[in-house]
Structure 1
Amino acid sequence: MPIPNNALVLVLDGRKMLFFRNQGDENQIDLRTEAHDERDDAHHDRDLKTDAPGTAAAGGARGDTHRPAMEETNFKQQEEDNWVKEAADELRKRVLRNDFEHLCIVAPPKALGVLRKELHKEVERRVVCTVNKEMSGRPIPDIEALIISETKTAEPSEV
């Protein structure tokens, strides 16, 4: 489905959140920046974790060896997931203010998966397009071209 005039476009990853408004129409997308935010990415796993994962003794005759009982937590991924959840919360606030009728989401697979789980039902109802691609570092014309290519309907062939 083409992106209508005044549709909200969210371009998101685990570090950036960009909101655009389509000032064009269904035939010519013209994205204008409405808001943007970037997460401080200064922390590294080693700065966030305080201890090693738990260990369990291996069974059998060699019971003196130890190995992690569970996978080590990826704190960077947790931060990115929390950032995506903040974006879902912002969309919820906007939809409850009736800020948009149509929504297009552009996000990489992992972020899109987290976002979908967190979307408010009313936000879900207004999604007209989702594009599974990392675009937060790309210029606006590239984002517009991607959305156009993803939403272009198959034209009937002439006989």
Structure 2
Amino acid sequence: MSTGYDRMKIAAGTWVVVCDGRKALILCNKGDATFPNLRTHEVHEQENPPASEQGTDAPGRVHQSVGTARSSVETTDWHDEAEREFLRGVAGRLDAAIAGGETSALILVASPRALGMLRPLYGEGVKQAILAEIDRDMVKLPVYEIEKLLAA
């Protein structure tokens, strides 16, 4: 079975960041490009309670300035806001890691939605450090499976 990531070279010290809107695994290659050995460096998780616990108000109403017409205002998607805030934190952590010399190379693995949210948040250092972006949700896989899929 071809994964589309065949023969990806992951140099020693490269961070593989596997994330979605609620969890981020920062893995570091402790092996070499020929025999990668991904080890968990950091895990970031976010609690995202049910919407009923995050916002209980009914949708707001707007009165038109002319006439008696009224319309409702769309409610805030609290899950979406929480995911965006979480990914801002992940992007900030990556910026700090690059600036602090913790790593100089990144491979990002995230769902297409999370990648779309992350891209505008990349700092200049992160943009230059990215070796690859893989649009696949692997955050729930064990580390050895992620390693196998990336370095097959």
- Do Structure 1 and Structure 2 share a fold, with TM-score over 0.5? yes
Cα displacement (A) at 1:99: 1.1
DSSP 3-state at the match of 1:91: helix
Tell me, yes or no, if the aligned pair for 1:108 and 1:133 is still in contact at 8 Å.
Answer: yes
Aligned to 2:89: 86
**Pairing of 1:38-53 with structure 2 (within 5 A):** 38-41=45-48, 43-53=49-59
- Within 1, Cα distance between the matches of 2:124 and 2:59? 37
Alignment of 1:131 with 2:134, yes or no, is yes
- Within 2, Cα distance between the matches of 1:115 and 1:83? 10
- Within 1, Cα distance between the matches of 2:143 and 2:100? 26
Superposition TM-score, scaled by structure 2 size:
0.83
Aligned to 1:153: none
Cα displacement (A) at 1:81: 1.3
Residue of structure 1 aligned with 2:144, choices 116, 130, 141 = 141
Tell me, yes or no, if the aligned pair for 1:11 and 1:18 is still in contact at 8 Å.
Answer: yes
Query: Which amino acid is 2:58 matched to?
Result: A
DSSP 3-state at the match of 2:40: strand
Aligned to 2:118: 115
Alignment of 1:31 with 2:38, yes or no, is yes
Identity %, equivalent residues: 29
Q: Which segments of 5 or more consecutive residues in structure 2 lack a partner in the other structure?
A: 1-7
Query: Which amino acid is 1:11 matched to?
Result: V
Q: Which segments of 5 or more consecutive residues in structure 1 lack a partner in the other structure?
A: 150-159
- Within 2, Cα distance between the matches of 1:39 and 1:56? 34
Aligned to 2:23: 16
Aligned to 1:54: 60
- Within 2, Cα distance between the matches of 1:33 and 1:148? 16
What count of residue pairs does the alignment treat as equivalent? 142
* Large movers: runs of 4+ above 6 Å: none
Look at both structures and tell me which one has the larger radius of gyration over its CA atoms: 1
- Within 2, Cα distance between the matches of 1:99 and 1:15? 23
- Within 1, Cα distance between the matches of 2:33 and 2:132? 13
